[in-house]
């Protein structure tokens, strides 16, 4: 089968497309899926480059997020059948992240533990499903699992045009919050408005001005300055009433 394999850490040029990689064999408690879509996340880039303190068992097929259909069932797998359309939770409970600690979705087939499977509704395409787990799972964990946002809260979302950011906009609105979305560029801000943001603020390398006249916000990419500049800017801008929650692709806090 074809597979995108990382053999040594480095840049994206270190990824190798092979065409004769063995198709994984099914084992007990697992299924083999025919991968129909796999998305490339920034974490995949971290895996390629290598991260301090994380020893990736190379070579490895990269790709955290994937969706496809079951082709083989291992012993002990219940409630699933060949042909079922599935999304894969990228966290393997025993080994860690798919595409990092074990082979991931950038291949034609992938071996997956049955407890990682999520059924895909008929109305959802493989590509749509494969875009969800890392970005939308992160947003769901920040806002819902940790119960950080309540109805009528004011939520400031940094880096709102990214995957995690757009998910935060959608989820915060579903929770009944007033959303202030921060991003760079008029096109991004317009799309965020269409997603439901109540206000859209343009980003610059500087924080909101103390005069309260500026609506520029530190980009979430400038992580060391984000928390301090954001929190010190809340009062001068004059955001009254409900608690202000700050969400970004790096963290969420209230």
Beta strands in 50-164 (DSSP E): 60-61, 65-73, 85-88, 91-92, 96-97, 109-113, 117-119, 154-157
Condensed to tens digits (0 to 9), the pLDDT of residues 6-33 reads 999 999 999 999 999 999 999 999 999 9
For all residues of the chain together, what is the average pLDDT? Answer: 84
Confidence of residue 243 (pLDDT cuts 50, 70, 90): very low
Condensed to tens digits (0 to 9), the pLDDT of residues 38-66 reads 999 889 999 999 999 899 999 999 999 99
Condensed to tens digits (0 to 9), the pLDDT of residues 119-141 reads 999 999 999 999 999 989 889 98
Tell me phi and psi for residue 218, to 5 degrees: -60, 135
Condensed to tens digits (0 to 9), the pLDDT of residues 86-132 reads 999 999 999 999 999 999 999 999 999 999 999 999 999 999 999 99
CB neighbours (10 Å) of residue 9? 13
Task: Give the CA angle between residues 193, 197, 202 to the nearest 5°.
Answer: 70
Higher pLDDT, 46 or 213: 46
- Residue 17 is inside which H or E element, if any? strand 15-18
Statement: residue 235 has pLDDT above 60: no
Say what the pLDDT of residue 209 is: 33
Statement: residue 213 has pLDDT above 80: no
Give the global pTM: 0.76
């Amino acid at each position: 089968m074809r597979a995108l394999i990382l053999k040594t850490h480095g840049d994206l040029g270190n990824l190798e497309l092979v065409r004769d990689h063995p198709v994984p064999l099914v084992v007990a408690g697992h299924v083999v899926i025919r991968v129909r879509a796999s998305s490339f996340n920034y974490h995949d880039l971290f895996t390629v480059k290598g991260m301090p303190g994380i020893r990736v068992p190379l070579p490895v097929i990269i790709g955290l997020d994937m969706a496809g259909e079951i082709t083989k069932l291992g012993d002990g797998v219940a409630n699933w059948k060949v042909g079922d359309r599935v999304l894969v939770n990228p966290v393997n409970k025993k080994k860690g992240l798919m595409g990092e600690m074990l082979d991931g979705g950038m291949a034609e087939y992938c071996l997956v533990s049955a407890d990682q499977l999520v059924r895909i509704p008929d109305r959802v395409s493989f590509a749509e499903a494969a875009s969800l787990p890392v970005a939308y799972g992160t947003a769901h964990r920040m806002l819902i699992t940790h119960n950080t946002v309540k109805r009528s809260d004011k939520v400031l979302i940094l880096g709102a045009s990214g995957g995690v950011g757009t998910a935060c906009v959608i989820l915060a609105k579903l929770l009944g919050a007033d959303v202030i979305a921060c991003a760079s560029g008029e096109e991004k801000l317009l799309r965020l408005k269409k997603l439901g943001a109540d206000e859209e603020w343009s980003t610059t390398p500087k924080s909101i001005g103390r005069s309260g006249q500026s609506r520029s916000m530190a980009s979430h990419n400038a992580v060391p300055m984000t928390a301090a500049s954001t929190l010190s800017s809340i009062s001068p801008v004059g955001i009254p009433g409900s608690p202000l929650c700050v969400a970004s692709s790096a963290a969420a806090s209230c």
